[in-house]
Structure 1
């Protein structure tokens, strides 16, 4: 359960720092347009902070970590997905602010991050189903 709480704290810090970075970078570059840096703050806070708080509440009710191996697969795959996606947003956003051309490979890698998050959600729903079934079985006994 603490892993979920610490993850939420980590993404809160990263989300706040990314917002600060965006603000300072846009000031330094005198940039007022749109770049992917605009949304890194939101992605980190929603996919990181809020989702890990939701996972924490569900863990408290259903004991997801009882299915240790599946939980760990979900947990680490989800982290990788978020971090790859946000890293590519940073690369894309900085390149746009600096006036560099952006390679389509960046969008492709970001897409892989989104696919990884999707795989993590599939793992989460499998984990959720196992936990609900285990609780139902336990309540019948």
Structure 2
């Protein structure tokens, strides 16, 4: 359960720092259009902070961490998927603000991050289904 809490704390810090970075970067560059940096803050707070708080509530009810192998698969793949997705948003956003060309590979890598998140959710629902059956 502490892994989930620490994850939530981590994403709260990252979310707040990304919001600060966005504000200062756009102010320094005198940029007022849309870039991917606009939504990094929200992605980190919702998919990180809030989701891990929800996972904690579900863990308290269904003891998901008892199935260590499946839980760890979900846990680490979710982190990897979220961090890859957000990193590509940073790259894309900074490139947009700095008016640099962005390789199509950035979108492809971001897509891999989304695929990893989807795989993590599949593991989560399998884990949840097994624990609901036990209860």
TM over 0.5: yes
Q: Which residue of 2 aligns with 1:3?
A: 3
Unaligned runs of 5+ in 1: 136-141
Q: Equivalent residues in 2 for 1:22-37 (5 A)?
A: 22-37=22-37
Q: Which residue of 2 aligns with 1:102?
A: 102
Q: Which residue of 1 aligns with 2:57?
A: 57
Highest CA radius of gyration, 1 or 2? Answer: 1
For the aligned residue pairs, the C-alpha RMSD in angstroms reads 0.4
Q: Which residue of 2 aligns with 1:139?
A: none
Give the TM-score normalised by structure 1: 0.95
Q: Distance in 1 between matches of 2:131 and 2:74?
A: 14
**How many equivalent pairs are there?**
135
SS at match of 2:50: helix
Q: Distance in 1 between matches of 2:54 and 2:28?
A: 36
Q: Equivalent residues in 2 for 1:43-122 (5 A)?
A: 43-122=43-122
**What is the deviation of 1:134?**
1.4
Kindly provide the CA deviation profile for residues 39-89 of structure 1, in whole angstroms up to 9, marking residues without a partner as x: 000000000000000000000000000111100000000000000000000
Q: Distance in 2 between matches of 1:16 and 1:99?
A: 25
Q: Which residue of 2 aligns with 1:133?
A: 133
